[in-house]
Chain A
Amino acid sequence: MEDERSFSDICGGRLALQRRYYSPSCREFCLSCPRLSLRSLTAVTCAVWLAAYGLFTLCENSMILSAAIFITLLGLLGYLHFVKIDQETLLIIDSLGIQMTSSYASGKESTTFIEMGKVKDVVINEAIYMQKVIYYLCILLEDPVEPHGISQVVPVFQVSTEQLSKVFSPKKICCLSPFSAFLLLLMFSRNVNSSCQDYLRTPDSYF
Chain B
Amino acid sequence: MVLKAFFPTCCASADSGLLVGRWVPEQSSAVVLAVVHFPFIPLQVKELLAQVHQAGHVGLAVLGTWCHRRRGAEESLGQFLEGLGTIFSHEPWLQLCREPGSKLWSCKATRRQVPPHPGAPYEDQVMLVFYDQRKVLLSQLHPPAALPDRQAGDAAPSAGGLAAVFDTVARSEALFRSDRFDDGPVRLSHWQSEGVEASILAELAKRASGPVCVLLACLLSLVSAVSACRKANVLVSVLLDVALGLALLSWLRGKDRIGPLAEALVPVADHVAEELQHLLQWLMGAPAGLKMNRALDQVLGRFFLYHLHLWISYIHLMSPFIERILWHVGLSACLGLTVALSILSDIIALLTFHIYCFYVYGARLYCLKICGLSSLWRLFRGKKWNVLRQRVDSCSYDLDQLFIGTLLFTILVFLLPTTALYYLVFTLLRLLVVAVQGLIHLLVDLINSLPLYSLGLRLCRPYRLAAGVKFRVLEHEAGRPLRLLMQINPLPYGRVVHTYRLPSYGCHPTHSWGSLCRKLFFGELIYPWRQRGDKQD
Contacts and interface: CB of A to CB of B under 8 A. Distances in A.
Interface of A: 22-26, 28, 91, 93-97, 99, 101, 111-113, 115-117, 144, 151
Nearest to B468: A113
Greatest chain B CB density within 10 A among A22, A23, A111 is at A23
Contacts of A24: 125
Interface residues of B, number: 22
A28 B489 CA distance: 19
B161 A93 contact: no
B471 A96 contact: yes
Interface in B103-131: 125, 127, 129
22 contacts: A22-B473, A22-B476, A25-B125, A25-B482, A26-B127, A26-B473, A26-B482, A26-B484, A93-B471, A93-B484, A95-B1, A95-B28, A96-B129, A96-B161, A99-B470, A101-B470, A111-B489, A115-B160, A116-B161, A117-B160, A117-B161, A144-B145
Greatest chain A CB density within 10 A among B28, B127, B160, B476 is at B127
Contacts of A112: 468
B471 to A, nearest CB: 6
A111 B470 contact: yes
Contacts of A96: 4, 127, 129, 161, 471, 484
B87 interface: no
Contacts, number: 54
The 3 closest A-B pairs by CB, nearest first: A111-B470, A23-B482, A95-B1
A25 B127 contact: yes
Contacts of A91: 471, 473
Contacts of B470: 99, 101, 111, 113
B329 interface: no
B469 interface: yes
Interface string B484-527: 10000100000000000000000000000000000000000000
A119 to B, nearest CB: 11
Nearest to B470: A111
A144 B163 CA distance: 15
A93 B147 CA distance: 27
Nearest to B489: A111
A97 B27 CA distance: 12
Nearest to A109: B470
A144 B468 CA distance: 17
B94 to A, nearest CB: 17
A149 B286 CA distance: 67
Nearest to B473: A22
B2 A95 contact: yes
Nearest to A91: B471
B162 interface: yes
Nearest to A99: B471
Contact of B471 (A113, A144, A151): A113
